[in-house]
Amino acid sequence: MNVLVCGGAGFIGSAFIKSYHQNNRDSKITNLDNLTIGSNLQNLKELKDDPNYKFIKDDIRNESVIDSLVKDSDVTINFAAESHVDRSIANPKPFLETNIFGTYSILEAIRKHDKQFIHVSTDEVYGDAQGKSSFNEDSQINPSNPYAATKAAADNLVMSYHRTYGINCITTRCTNNFGPNQFPEKLIPKTIIRLLKNLKVPLYGDGTQIRSWIYVNDHVQAIESLIKKGKPGHVYNITAYEEITNKSIVEKILDILGKPREHLIVLSWIRTSSARVEPELVVATLAERLNQVESYAVQHRVDICVPGLVIERMPRPLRLKEPAILHLVIFRLQAFILAKLRHPEDI
């Protein structure tokens, strides 16, 4: 199979490429990425000389390039997107250009050449929970910031192409990802990096906002399942049902690094024209449709994986080089966190 991955040098896109390549050695993968903020070819350095992998630096809005690449591919997966909420508030224009017009460029090529398309969206399109316990795939989309609005617009555009032209497309909406190579502006890597530098960690709001987390490898495995068995025109929510407050995440990392609670600064939002109002999302999205596609089991949990991410971010002189010792350290860190979970009164 020939696979075109748009935005494959980013955090999730590169994880997909590595996972798909490992599971499908005979498939040829083309990675199109414009190498903007959040992209890093070092994420894929082990595939640089692989004959079944090719990188092309270009923009998904380049219709002629997209047309040629889609024509030669069996399936296109689009991870390319502007995705930072605060930046979308400061300057929405790049989000419209990439998330909407970039998706349009791909859709036109898909329609012309009758190929499969996986549109990777986000649970942020559902907006504020407003008392709901969870969202499912049939929930009304109600974006609350420019980033989410542009992704919702792209979702609607994809669905319109399915209904109007009958294209073979699937939309995925995933909860918060975490894992190796995540861009440092995100909560978990930002917290680890600041604490390793002995800096305080600011937490906006009161820290009680609930987020649902999923390890990036579980997310991309779900996408691979959908390529094989997903139903055209359907939306699939992807989640691990790990609902944790932002404050709890930061406190777990504080404990791993042996830092006192004083390193956590809880800030209150001040409403100004440029302030982001933090939506209280309850993102325990349903995954029944995915479970119907294929037996799908989440393999990674926050409490087991975060210690390894802490070690990954440590400066090289501090890293342990002996694998046996490293595994022992990770095991002890995992045991420590699990003990805290079993006895929350000790936290």
Residue 236 shares a structural domain with residue 253: no
Residue 9 shares a structural domain with residue 67: yes
Catalytic residue, candidates 20, 53, 147, 236? 147
296 catalytic, yes or no?
A: no
Residue 277 shares a structural domain with residue 221: no
72 catalytic, yes or no?
A: no
Catalytic residue, candidates 123, 155, 218, 251? 123
147 catalytic, yes or no?
A: yes
Q: For residue 100, what are the domain limits?
A: 2-179+212-242+285-293
| Residue 199 within a domain | no
- Using left for φ > 0, alpha for ψ between -120 and 50, and beta otherwise, residue 211 falls in beta
Question: What are the DSSP E strand ranges found in the chain?
Answer: 2-6, 28-33, 53-57, 75-78, 116-122, 168-174, 176-178, 201-204, 210-215, 235-238, 242-245, 264-267
Residue 97 shares a structural domain with residue 168: yes
- The CA-CA-CA angle for residues 310, 311, 316, to 5°, reads 130
Residue 275 shares a structural domain with residue 308: yes
Residue 136: CATH number of its domain: 3.40.50.720
pTM, 2 dp: 0.80
| Residue 336 within a domain | yes
Residue 265 shares a structural domain with residue 146: no
pLDDT tens-digit map of 305-330: 665 566 555 555 444 444 434 444 55
Count of domains forming the chain:
2
Catalytic residue, candidates 124, 218, 242, 251? 124
| Residue 191 within a domain | no
pLDDT tens-digit map of 145-198: 999 999 999 999 999 999 999 999 999 999 889 888 888 888 888 888 888 888
Residue 289 shares a structural domain with residue 338: no
